[in-house]
């Protein structure tokens, strides 16, 4: 079958091509397989779905042509995510760092050798990457990290601990921040950025079981772990500045995909609860209150995408507002639908991972929504950032 990318120059034709391609590409019975097979089913579905996108050239289509991509325009990427959400395709969440954070970092600061090796590993080998940023004492205040990397000849020797590493138990490689200068005048200085092989001796990875029953996160422990000098990204002690390239990859299309899936969830739930709303006008009115909130979210995300199209490094201010708004809206919406389901929502089911933020299992979706109020900066931190940095209010 011809790749949908052949029609990417014409958005209407590209949309039609994606719609034709999706039915045969989405893993069959993927929701049932994850529910029946738990973690093994999730991993299998993720790899099958990633392979299907790779064969069609879509997985890395947003990358530059020089590095195996297709220079897919932002508008075409929006069409792709819209159609995936419409088709209720699984998220490719296991490869988020591989497809966005790692390439954003190496495109800007990696050596030619690093780009050739690690980008190709993702493009054709399906390598899974995670991030080693947060620590038990350095979550929202990431610059306080204490994991140390000491240069000894041709290697850096790392000791310390990382936590909340998404998909760390599956990862082949890790984007690691570690302190290389203990005497730096500012805590933001003296941090370096490394590529870590997750099979390195002295490395211990432990899953963190969440309230949903899944182990999406992991702790990573370092006991004299050696990292070759050639795995340093950029200059030594410049890691904090380089990390901003990684963090900007969380903006734009990733939140667009989530918001688009929420739109479809609201439509689906409107039909699912039609009879209940006919009997209970108060619940119908409360549900209707989510429509303007979802529309506001789409407007904000649309403005973010417009800013990113003008400047790929822009959008920082509105992205902060969106993060806070999205986390609150998601929690409110999933809490509302869980209450609508009442006791039926309390029946335990296998977590339906990679089904977006509003899967059919309303209690799981509600519990899962709390992660957004913490990940990437807690709601409290986001409010402080908005107040102090964006609005200029006194501390």
Q: Are residues 265 and 233 part of one domain?
A: no
Structure tokens given for 164: 């909340």
Q: Are residues 254 and 386 part of one domain?
A: yes
Q: End-to-end CA distance of the chain: give it in Å, rounded.
A: 59
Is 196 within a domain?
Answer: yes
Contacts for 299 with CB less than 8 Å, ≥ 6 apart:
none
Q: Are residues 352 and 222 part of one domain?
A: no
Mean pLDDT of 151-177: 96
**Residue among 83, 214, 219, 250 flagged as catalytic:** 250
Is 10 within a domain?
Answer: yes
Mean pLDDT of 209-238: 94
Residue 250 pLDDT:
53
Contacts for 222 with CB less than 8 Å, ≥ 6 apart:
147, 158, 159, 160, 161, 162, 202, 203
Q: What is the CB neighbour count within 10 angstroms for residue 317? A: 14
340 has pLDDT over 80: yes
Cα 388–Cα 390–Cα 395 angle in degrees, nearest 5: 5
> Residues 161, 137: contact at Cβ < 8 Å?
no
Q: Most confidently modeled of 91-100, 189-198, 358-367? A: 189-198
Is 124 within a domain?
Answer: no
Residue 39 falls in the annotated catalytic set: no
Q: Are residues 28 and 135 part of one domain?
A: no
CA within 13 Å, CB half, 307: 16
How many domains does the chain divide into? 3
pLDDT band at 249, cuts 50/70/90? low
Mean pLDDT of the chain: 90
**Between 246 and 210, the higher pLDDT residue:** 210
Structure tokens given for 238: 């410049």
- What is the SS3 assignment for 169? coil
Residue 198 pLDDT:
98
Residue 49 pLDDT:
96
Parallel/antiparallel/unpaired status of strands 191-197 and 155-162: unpaired
Is 330 within a domain?
Answer: yes
Domain end position, chosen among 76, 91, 106: 91
Mean pLDDT of 340-347: 83
How far apart, in whole angstroms, are the C-alpha atoms of residue 196 and residue 203?
10
Q: Are residues 348 and 269 part of one domain?
A: yes
Is 384 within a domain?
Answer: yes
Cα 371–Cα 377–Cα 378 angle in degrees, nearest 5: 60
132 has pLDDT over 80: yes
Is 288 within a domain?
Answer: yes
Q: What is the CB neighbour count within 10 angstroms for residue 7? A: 18
Express as a percent the part of the chain with pLDDT over 90. 58
pLDDT band at 130, cuts 50/70/90? very high
Domain end position, chosen among 237, 262, 292: 237
pLDDT band at 346, cuts 50/70/90? confident
**What is the domain extent for residue 157?**
129-237
């Amino acid at each position: 079958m011809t790749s949908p990318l052949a029609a990417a120059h014409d958005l209407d034709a590209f949309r039609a091509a994606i719609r034709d391609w999706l039915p045969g590409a989405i893993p069959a019975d993927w929701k049932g397989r994850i529910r029946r097979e738990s973690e093994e089913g999730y991993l299998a579905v993720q790899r099958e779905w990633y392979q299907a996108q790779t064969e069609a050239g879509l997985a890395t289509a947003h990358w530059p042509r020089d590095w195996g991509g297709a220079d897919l325009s932002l508008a075409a990427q929006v069409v792709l995510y819209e159609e995936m959400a419409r088709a209720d395709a699984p998220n490719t969440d296991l490869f988020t760092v591989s497809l966005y954070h790692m390439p954003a970092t190496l495109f800007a600061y990696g050596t030619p050798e690093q780009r050739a090796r690690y980008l190709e590993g993702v493009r054709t080998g399906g390598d899974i990457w995670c991030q080693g940023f947060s620590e038990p004492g350095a979550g929202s205040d990431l610059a306080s990290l204490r994991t140390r990397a000491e240069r000894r000849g041709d290697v850096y020797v790392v000791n310390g601990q990382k936590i909340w590493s998404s998909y760390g138990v599956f990862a082949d490689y890790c984007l690691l921040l570690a302190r290389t200068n203990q005497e730096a005048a500012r805590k933001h200085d003296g941090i370096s950025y490394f590529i870590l092989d997750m099979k390195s001796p002295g490395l211990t990875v432990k899953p963190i079981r969440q309230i949903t029953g899944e182990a999406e996160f992991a702790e990573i422990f370092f006991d004299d772990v050696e990292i070759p000098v050639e795995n340093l990204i950029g200059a030594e002690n410049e890691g904090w500045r380089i990390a901003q390239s990684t963090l900007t990859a969380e903006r734009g299309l990733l939140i667009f995909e989530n918001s688009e899936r929420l739109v479809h969830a609201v439509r689906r739930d409107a039909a699912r609860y039609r009879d209940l709303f006919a009997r209970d006008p108060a619940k119908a009115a409360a549900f209707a209150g989510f429509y303007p909130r979802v529309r506001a979210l789409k407007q904000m995300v649309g403005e973010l995408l417009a800013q990113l199209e003008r400047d790929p490094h822009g959008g920082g201010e509105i992205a902060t507002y969106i993060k806070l708004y999205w986390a609150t809206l998601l929690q409110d919406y999933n809490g509302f639908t869980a209450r609508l389901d009442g006791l039926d929502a309390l029946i335990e089911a296998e977590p339906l991972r990679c089904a977006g933020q509003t899967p059919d299992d309303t209690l799981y979706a509600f519990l899962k929504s709390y992660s957004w109020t913490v990940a990437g900066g807690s709601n409290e931190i986001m409010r402080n950032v908005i107040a102090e940095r964006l609005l200029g209010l006194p501390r």
